[in-house]
């Protein structure tokens, strides 16, 4: 990335946001302000050890219009990660997803428009719905929106708000829709960390339904490099799909985790399926690769997964405090 700027990173204490902050401070000259509400998903420990002269952390809500206005006015670029992010939670209590994902995004783009600031909106491939297992098609920038869950429908709504603000008000915004991320600092409610930490605690992994569902995995650092490329050289008003050709079915992922941790590959349980469970996601990232010259660095999923397992092994103090609460939420949802 060329030059330096002041980035306001919303949700920078969450999984992907904190990986982005680490990546930016390691690879660019930018300074970063994190705006994060420190919900159950936000964690100060994910930002420890970073250079304090280049990182400011603000504890606040993206729905707080006065706070958002003053922060946006004082920065060059807003990179918007903050969201309620977990499908299972959205099926049991959708309201916070409306508040943060829809009204929170609205609050941010209103401030960005008032102060004419560059805005990058982080979104998900789930806005496109799902694909059949045997469908040769993958999602592209022109795939129609067809979200399935309260989570993905609120993300779709936020994408459409950003698009409308570009067209109606000339907001200088770009959007990226990325596939499933893995890597360090991911909350233990999510599939890969939940199963790794289950095994590390002597519990069996839990596969929803038949375990045949496919996700298209990308390392969080590859997501970060793509976002920087779009902020640098993306066309205002455009959408970019981010993916690293990492399709894997859930059963294979669980088997890899078990083998890695010295357990029999079949030492998992099949449990009740997620209602409305999307079968398959798959990203065609040709546009990002050809127009912006982006390439993923982590092309070997098994290798990236091994590194991630090692991280959870070596950082028990990061995840142990959240593990019991996350499993208690699953127990309530199942009852």
Catalytic position from the list 125, 130, 221, 278:
125
Q: Which of 124, 158, 224, 225 binds ligand DAU (CB under 6 A)?
A: 124
Nearer to ligand DAU, 112 or 207 (CB): 207
Q: Pick what 198 binds: ligand DAU, ligand NAD, none; C-beta below 5 to 8 Å, kind-dependent.
A: none
Residue 88 a catalytic site member: no
Of the pair 23, 81, the CB lying nearest ligand NAD is at: 81
Rounded Cα–Cα distance for residues 21 and 48 (Å): 11
197 binds, among ligand DAU, ligand NAD, none (CB under 5 to 8 A by kind): none
CB 215 within 8 A of CB 179: yes
282 backbone dihedrals φ, ψ, rounded to 5°: -155, 130
| Cα-based angle 96, 99, 100 (whole degrees, multiple of 5) | 85
CB 149 within 8 A of CB 106: no
Residue nearest to ligand DAU (CB): 124
Give the x/- contact pattern for ligand NAD in 174-193, rule: CB under 6 A.
----x-xx-----x------
Q: Where are the alpha helices (DSSP H) in 174-315?
A: 191-200, 220-233, 250-260, 286-292, 301-314
Among 139, 182, 268, 281, binds ligand DAU (CB under 6 A): 281
The DSSP line for 52-73 is TTTEEEEE--TT-HHHHHHHHH
Candidates 81, 151, 268, 281; catalytic one:
151
Cβ nearer to ligand DAU, comparing 31 with 87:
87
Return the number of the residue (30 or 86) whose C-beta is nearest ligand DAU.
Answer: 86
Indicate the DSSP class of residue 41: T
- Which among 110-118, 120-128, 197-205, 282-290 is the span making contact with ligand NAD, rule CB under 6 A? 120-128
Cβ within 8 Å of residue 319, ≥6 positions away: 188, 193, 197, 312
Q: Which is nearer to ligand DAU, 33 or 181 (CB)?
A: 181
87 binds, among ligand NAD, ligand DAU, none (CB under 5 to 8 A by kind): ligand DAU
The angle formed by the CA atoms of residues 185, 188 and 190, to the nearest 5 degrees, is 100
- Confirm if 283 and 170 have CB atoms less than 8 A apart: no
For the bound state, the minimum distance from the C-beta of residue 37 to ligand NAD, rounded and expressed in Å, comes to 3
Min CB(38)–ligand NAD separation in Å: 5
Residue 152 token pair: 């993905």
Catalytic residue among 36, 61, 84, 126: 126
Q: What are the C-alpha distances in Å from 144 to residues 127, 190, 228, 242, 256?
A: 9, 27, 26, 17, 34
- Binding region for ligand DAU (CB under 6 A) out of 28-36, 206-214, 221-229, 291-299: 206-214
Closest alpha carbon to 262 in 312, 315, 199: 199
126 tagged catalytic: yes
The option from ligand NAD, ligand DAU, none interacting with 22 (CB < 5 to 8 A, set by class) reads none
Q: Which of 217, 223, 151, 221 is nearest to 184 (CA)?
A: 221
Under the binding rule (CB under 6 A), the answer on residue 179 touching ligand DAU is yes
125 tagged catalytic = yes
Distances (CA, A) of 51 to 24, 26, 32, 44, 205: 11, 10, 10, 14, 37
Number of residues that bind ligand DAU (CB under 6 A): 19
CA distance 151 to 87: 5
Residues at the site binding ligand NAD, with contacts judged by CB under 6 A: 10-11, 13-17, 36-39, 41-42, 61-63, 81-85, 100, 104, 122-124, 155, 178, 180-181, 187
**Residues forming the active site:** 125-126, 151
Residues at the site binding ligand DAU, with contacts judged by CB under 6 A: 85-87, 124-126, 179-180, 190-191, 194, 206-208, 213, 215, 250, 274, 281
């Amino acid at each position: 990335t060329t030059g330096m700027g002041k980035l306001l990173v919303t949700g920078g204490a969450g999984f992907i946001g904190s990986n982005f902050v680490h990546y930016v401070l390691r690879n660019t000259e930018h300074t970063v302000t994190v705006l994060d509400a420190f919900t159950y998903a936000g964690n100060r420990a994910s930002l420890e050890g970073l250079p304090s002269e280049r990182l400011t952390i603000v504890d606040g809500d993206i729905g707080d219009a006065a706070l958002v206005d003053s922060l946006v006015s004082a920065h060059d670029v807003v990179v918007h990660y903050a969201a309620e992010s977990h499908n299972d939670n959205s099926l049991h209590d959708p309201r916070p997803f409306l508040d943060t994902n829809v009204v929170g995004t609205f609050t941010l783009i209103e401030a960005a428009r008032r102060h004419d600031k560059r805005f990058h909106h982080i979104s998900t491939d789930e806005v496109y719905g799902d694909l059949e297992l045997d469908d040769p098609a993958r999602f592209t920038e022109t795939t129609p929106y067809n979200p399935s869950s309260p989570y993905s429908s609120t993300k779709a709504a936020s994408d459409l708000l950003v698009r409308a603000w570009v067209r109606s008000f000339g907001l200088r915004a770009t959007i990226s829709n990325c596939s499933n991320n893995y890597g360090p600092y991911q909350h233990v409610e999510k599939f890969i960390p939940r199963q790794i930490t289950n095994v590390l605690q002597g519990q069996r992994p839990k596969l929803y339904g038949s375990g045949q569902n496919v996700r298209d995995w990308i390392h969080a650092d590859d997501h970060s490099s793509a976002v920087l490329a779009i902020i640098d050289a993306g066309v205002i008003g455009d959408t970019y799909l981010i993916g690293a050709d990492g399709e894997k079915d859930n059963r294979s992922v669980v088997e890899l985790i078990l083998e890695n941790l010295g357990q029999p590959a079949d030492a998992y349980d099949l449990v009740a399926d997620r209602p409305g469970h999307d079968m398959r996601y798959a990203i065609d990232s040709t546009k990002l690769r050809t127009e912006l010259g982006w390439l993923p660095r982590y092309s070997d999923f098994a290798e990236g997964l091994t590194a991630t397992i090692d991280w959870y092994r070596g950082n028990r103090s990061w995840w142990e405090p959240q593990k019991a609460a996350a499993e208690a939420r699953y127990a309530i949802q199942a009852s």
